[in-house]
Structure 1
Amino acid sequence: MVIDLAFIWAAIIAFAVLAYVILDGFDLGIGILFPLFPQKRHRDVMMNSVAPIWDGNETWLVLGGGGLMAVFPLAYATILPALYAPIIAMLLGLIFRGVAFEYRWRTKRAEWLWNWAFAGGSAVAALAQGIALGALVQGIPVENRAYAGGWWDWLTPFSIVTGLAVLIGYALLGATWLVMKTTGDLREKARRLSYLAAIGMLVAMGVVSLWTPFLEQLYLQRWFSWPTAIFSIVVPLLVLGCFLLLATGLRNQQDGRPFIAALGLFVLGYAGIGISFYPYIVPASLTIRDAAAPDESLGFLLVGALVLVPLILAYTSYAYWVFRGKVDPEEGYH
């Protein structure tokens, strides 16, 4: 049996990106929701709910980005020039959000500034990630193995819609996380916001899903040609199932279920992107095999990944286990 190292690495990077989205998504969601909770005691609990784990969540972003550069250098060299602006905006947002975690606790006079840095950085990072995703989905022009588009090609109506969809989705993750981790009036307000964000995300997923097949002939054939057309039935049904689980969990006071259901919505959306892309890494331009480094390099790097990825999974799982349960409003990260 021949082992296809390129596709193994594609699966590893896809997993790393998904792990980043669902793990860092909810703490970005906390920042997005920050302006809706004006009371200091609520904001303190919100930040305390993610303070022990937020920076570890970003490990997956480093693994995904670094892995793409090392394993698929041609894809990296093509995608990066096309998405310089949203990627730089995302990184700046993450920097402001990260610095706010540390400095907000150190000052009273300028606390308002770091509140806005936390909220603004989270919103900008989420919006930039969604715009970058939309720009990738709509296609990146490639000629002679290099990016052939312009500076503003990433900014289109479709990419703006995907940016807003990701922003709403992260807000949903943040709200359901607060339902799971907090108590009292903070939890009740988060529960109400979860309903609104869930409806918004369902609408956004519907709009993006109906729009995407008409961006590229590859997507149209994938979603409406047999046998892959079966996904056009299965995936929407699963999305509705997750939405129902989320809504019933909120109604029945089952605090953990809404967050799990929200994660399910992201996983299904990510699966839909994978179904549309495969076997391309840059849609309709570069396949996974075309963009991959030599097998010798892939094999060498895979040895390190087989050690590194389980270690990241282990310490991430341990951190979540240690800080499980509801957040005590009288304790936390100070």
Structure 2
Amino acid sequence: MGIDLPVVWFAIIVFGLMMYVIMDGFDLGIGILFPFVRDRDSRDVMVNTVAPVWDGNETWLVLGGAGLMAAFPLAYAVVLSALYLPLLLMLLGLIWRGVAFEFRFKADESHRPFWDKAFMAGSYVATFFQGVALGAFLNGFNVRNGTFVGGAFDWLTPFSLFTGLGLIVAYALLGVTWLIIKTEGFIHDRMVVLARPVTLVLLVVIAIVSAWTPLAHLGIAQRWFNWPNIAFFAPVPLLVLLTGYGLVRSLRGGDPGATPFILALCLLFLGYSGLGISVWPNIIPPGITIREAAAPPQSMGFALVGALLIIPFILAYTAWSYYVFRGKVRQGEGYH
């Protein structure tokens, strides 16, 4: 039996995007949390927790996009045509945030507040439009003969705007729990306090999206509640509640360590699995499957060789970077 190349490439793209959500999620979450920490020195510590590793996080976004272009060119063409504006705004937010990240350390005292606001704005804009793109993807695209025939603002719906706001909450939780691991003193205590309401708000967001999605999309409702998908989907709401409860409980007393961050990642993974169940086996909702959108087998096989060579190097480099810069970050000091 040969390798099922469309399924393998779909798994690679899903893995790459999930790694991006994990790695860049808490990174963007730090900018999202800036309004809740006014002290300049505390903000410096927050940024320093990701300063050595942040610019490698977008590698996974590039991998997901390049993989989509190589393995599913039809999906790449449709998605970029349909989501051109939100993806452009997301990239502009990431660029502006990256500029602010560097300039806020080099600016004089009179300009530091401007770059702090720029860092916040870039984080919010990039995260919001990532969520908008996700919501628009779930809504589906108007495709005829392999070409997107919808309007330039089809992505602008109440559901996509809500998923944009929901992703801000999700990344804020990743940022909060990351800072619980990496900081101490005032910032650590402040993050522990913030983590509880952020978790509860995220659970409400998940509940609303979980109810809204099948009500607004009949095709997704059929996938959720038909056999065998329902066997995979049924445990997800219970697991979300148990994970949320465990996260809140882990914040009681003492230093919770990495437990809240791990449980926050579990919440995002559960949401990601729900997304997978909602669209599978389609790669262009509502009706184009991964096999219909796949590139020729020769192209997919050739690209797969390169992907299997480079992904282990990316994983090794990422793991080594986080290992080298492990430990707490303290005000005015390096890593300990």
What is the distance in 2 between the residues matched to 1:322 and 1:51? 13
Report the Cα distance in structure 1 between the residues aligned to 2:298 and 2:274, rounded to whole angstroms: 31
Name the CA distance, whole Å, in 2 between partners of 1:232 and 1:298: 30
> Any idea what SS the aligned residue of 1:326 has?
coil
Q: 8 Å contact 1:97–1:118 — kept in the other structure? A: yes
Task: Provide the rounded CA distance (Å) in 1 between the counterparts of 2:169 and 2:225.
Answer: 28
Write the distance in 1 (CA, Å) between the matches of 2:276 and 2:227: 17
Q: In structure 1, what is the Cα distance between the partners aligned to 2:216 and 2:302?
A: 38
Aligned to 1:31: 31
Q: In the aligned structure 2, how far is the partner of 1:279 from the partner of 1:110?
A: 50
C-alpha RMSD of matched pairs (Å): 1.2
Establish whether residue 264 from structure 1 lines up as the match of residue 266 from structure 2.
Answer: yes
Contact 1:140 1:285 in 2 (8 A): no
Alignment deviations for residues 172-198 of structure 1 (CA, whole Å, 9 cap, x no partner): 110111111100011111111111110
Paired position in structure 1 for 2:11: 11
Corresponding residue of 1:118 = 119
Query: Deviation of residue 298 (structure 1)?
Result: 0.5
Alignment of 1:249-328 (within 5 A): 249-252=250-253, 253-328=255-330
Deviation, 1:245, is 2.0
* Cα distance in 1 between the residues matched to 2:75 and 2:29: 29
- Equivalent-residue separation in structure 2 for 1:284 and 1:18 (angstroms): 22
Q: What stretches of structure 1 move > 4 A for 4+ residues in a row?
A: none
Q: Which moved more, 1:324-333 or 1:276-285?
A: 324-333
**How much has 1:223 moved relative to structure 2?**
1.2
Match of 2:223 in 1: 222
Instruction: Measure, in 2, the Cα distance between the counterparts of 1:223 and 1:6.
Output: 23
| Letter in structure 2 aligned against 1:76 | Y
Kindly indicate whether residue 187 of structure 2 is the aligned counterpart of residue 186 of structure 1: yes
Q: Percent identity?
A: 55
Report how many aligned residue pairs link the two structures. 333
> Distance between the aligned counterparts of 2:28 and 2:105, measured in 1?
18
Which amino acid counterpart does residue 152 of structure 2 have in structure 1? W
Give the structure 1 partner of residue 208 of structure 2: 207
- Structure 2 residue 128 is matched with structure 1 residue 127: yes
1:50 match: secondary structure: coil
TM-score (structure 1 length as normaliser): 0.97
Tell me the distance in 2 between the aligned counterparts of 1:225 and 1:306: 35
Instruction: Structure 2: state its 5+ residue gaps.
Output: none
2:102 maps to a residue whose letter is E
Q: CA deviation at 1:35?
A: 1.6
**Matching residue of 1:197:** 198
Moved more, 215-224 or 177-186: 215-224
Distance 2:334 2:198 in 1: 27
Counterparts of 2:162 and 2:52 in 1: how far apart (Å)? 32
Q: CA–CA distance in 2 between the matches of 1:312 and 1:167?
A: 27
Q: Which runs of 5+ in 1 are unaligned?
A: none
Instruction: Report the Cα distance in structure 1 between the residues aligned to 2:141 and 2:298, rounded to whole angstroms.
Output: 28
**Secondary structure of residue in 2 paired with 1:281:** strand
| 1:7-40 per-position Cα deviation (integer Å, ceiling 9, x unaligned) | 1000000000000011100010000011211101
Are the counterparts in 1 of residues 233 and 274 from structure 2 also a CA contact under 8 Å? no
Corresponding residue of 2:100: 100
- 1:49·1:181 contact (CA, 8 Å) conserved in 2? yes
Deviations along 1:148-189, one digit per CA (max 9) or x if unpaired, are: 111111010100110011010001110111111100011111
The CA deviation at 1:283 is 1.4
Q: Which amino acid aligns with 1:309?
A: I
Corresponding position of 2:177: 176
- What is the distance in 2 between the residues matched to 1:286 and 1:211? 23
Q: How far off its partner does 1:87 sit?
A: 0.4
Separation (CA, whole Å) in 2 of partners of 1:123 and 1:290: 36
Match of 1:312, SS state, is helix
